[in-house]
Amino acid sequence: MQIILIKDIDNLGSVNEVVTVRAGYARNYLIPQKYAIEASPSNLKMAEEKAKVKAKRENALLAEIAKVADVLKASPIKVGAKTGTSGKIFGSVTSIQIARAIKEQKGYEIDRKRISILDEVKEVGSHKANIDFGNSNVIELEFEVVGE
């Protein structure tokens, strides 16, 4: 029996995928639990339309991510930190400080949990961090630590 999955199911398939399963498994488990619907011609058309809408939404999201990435890569972000006389920072720079600097300097609000600093930042100078936008969309951000 052919069915269209409504939810992701391990070892079977993902959302809007048409799969063939045994009739009893479909009628007794998948359909009553609202994991799948029968693959009738009208349901197939509906699943196709949902897939088109999802693809269009993902393309728009990727274009927005590319635009934000271009703005962030244009010039390095400046992060202020208290320093000693030798150029060492008291403490270290955190993802919270980088997120705040991006919001102030570039105008984009990025969740601090998406920012990962590549190495410990203990000195004034240029450093790098990664921003993960999800779906394997990771950009490398350059930021500069300046003394206050």
Percentage of residues of the chain with pLDDT beyond 70: 100
Residue 133 sits in the same domain as residue 82 = yes
Statement to judge: residues 78 and 101 lie in one domain: yes
Residue 113 · residue 96 · CB < 8 Å: no
Q: How many domains does the chain have?
A: 2
Residue 84's domain spans which residues? 65-147
Answer yes or no: is pLDDT of 148 > 80. Answer: no
Please give the mean pLDDT across all residues of the chain: 90
Q: Model pTM?
A: 0.66
Question: N- to C-terminal Cα distance for the chain?
Answer: 69
Residue 79 sits in the same domain as residue 143:
yes
Q: Tell me, rounded to whole angstroms, the distance of Cα 88 from its chain centroid.
A: 33
